[in-house]
Amino acid sequence: MQFKEIPGQKKIKQRLINTVKENRISHAQLFLGPEGSGKLPMAIAYAQYICCTNKQDDDSCGECPSCKKINNLVHPDLHFLFPVVKQGKSLEQVNDYLPQWREFLIKNNSFVSLKQWHNFIDAEKKQSIISTNDANELVRVLSMNSYESEYKVMIIWMAERFYHSAAPKILKILEEPSPKTLFILISEDQEKLLKTIRSRTQLLKFTSYDDDDVSQYLQTQYNKEAYQTNTVSVLAEGNIARAIMLLDEDIDNSFNYTEFRNWMLLCYKPKFSDLKELVDKLAALTREKQKEFLKYGIQLIRNSLLINYENTDLVRAVEEEKKFVFNFAKLINDKNAVKFIDLFNEAIFHIERNANAKILFMDVSFKSMQAFKIK
């Protein structure tokens, strides 16, 4: 992974490059930011730049043996710690999952989410953690000398998933690391990290991407047309991991737009005779598509409020939707907007727990009819 493969985040890239050039690499760093903001690919690109034997002015060479090994995630001095679930005797610790982990990162260019990881390893509803045994293994591995490079690099993904008895295990090694050891902790929620861990790391904050960055990245990396990536980027809301998931699931934004508009019109009038047919159509979708359909609805409700508050420059919608959104906004107010958002979020919650989709969408439809009457 090279810096040039990561969209945007120019200031962060330059800051990391300068730490190497000026020989002031902090031994423990916390990459903090929302999902899909490039923290993990940036950590890998940083490790590659540090270990590269033919560094360029603004990136690793990508060709030396060290770069090739890191690009394939098999460099002996690059280590990973990440949350896993216990699935029998064959899959218990991080080391057991390494082949799957490498395949997972390479498939998604390291733009990944915890949900994608759970789906990839068929974790179902199990809780993933970084266990005490894995923390002990981290200490053991990093107490050894490096094999090929000057630095040993440990990337801890989703560091907030440390089991309560595991987190203290790394405190001592964070305080007194072996020479030329770099820890990169990656987190989406620093409040879930121990304060003692946060205080021992240098913080680097990441922000969500612009829609244009997401769209351009998808066009370049996945050979998609602009009309496809523009709609996906709006739905992804600056989250490249989610954008990749939407592409994988083949989420059709035109379907969401057309059917959500029809659904709301049937609920507003209301038209019970036509409603059953539409509910059957929604119930036939996959669970992921049902959730994205409802998330699309939440986005339109929020856009409607922005229009009502005259913040139209913040409206996130592609051109074909805007006319509908501006008309729909006339039916939305502060009170029923809250009701709609709660309804759709609750429906997403129940879909994730395998609720009967026909009953669920019909129930939401009836409650939406009532919400339109709220003034």
The pLDDT tens digits for 155-200 are 999 999 888 888 777 887 888 778 888 999 999 998 888 888 888 8
pLDDT tier at 57, thresholds 50, 70, 90: very high
Answer yes or no: is pLDDT of 30 > 80: yes
pLDDT at 122: 83
Answer yes or no: is pLDDT of 250 > 70: no
pLDDT at 58: 93
pLDDT at 318: 57
pLDDT higher at 236 or 156: 156
- Find the mean pLDDT for residues 306-310: 81
pLDDT at 20: 94
Between CA 260 and CA 272 the distance in angstroms is 16
Answer yes or no: is pLDDT of 374 > 90: no
Report the percentage of the chain scoring pLDDT > 90: 47
Q: Which two tokens stand for residue 303?
A: 């856009």
pLDDT at 11: 94
The alpha carbon of residue 256 and the mean position of all alpha carbons in its chain are separated, in whole angstroms, by 22
Answer yes or no: is pLDDT of 312 > 70: no
Neighbouring-strand partners of residue 32: 187, 205
The pLDDT tens digits for 89-136 are 666 788 889 999 999 999 888 999 998 898 888 876 678 888 888 888
pLDDT at 314: 55
Tell me the pLDDT of the chain averaged across its residues: 87
Q: Which two tokens stand for residue 212?
A: 């244009």
pLDDT tier at 240, thresholds 50, 70, 90: very high
pLDDT at 362: 95
pLDDT higher at 249 or 224: 224
Q: Residue with structure tokens 């020989």?
A: 23
pLDDT at 228: 67
Question: Looking at 183-197, 207-221, 230-244, which range is the least confident one?
Answer: 230-244
Confirm if 285 and 351 have CB atoms less than 8 A apart. no
Question: Looking at 51-55, 170-174, 265-269, 317-321, which range is the least confident one?
Answer: 317-321
pLDDT at 304: 87
Q: Which of helix, strand or coil describes residue 278?
A: helix
228: nearest Cα among 236, 213, 218: 218
The alpha carbon of residue 124 and the mean position of all alpha carbons in its chain are separated, in whole angstroms, by 18
Using the Cα atoms of residue 56, residue 59, residue 63 and residue 64 in order, give the sign of their dihedral: positive
Q: Residue with structure tokens 């800051």?
A: 15
Q: Which two tokens stand for residue 144?
A: 């050894």
- Find the mean pLDDT for residues 278-300: 89
The pLDDT tens digits for 198-208 are 888 999 999 99
pLDDT at 227: 65
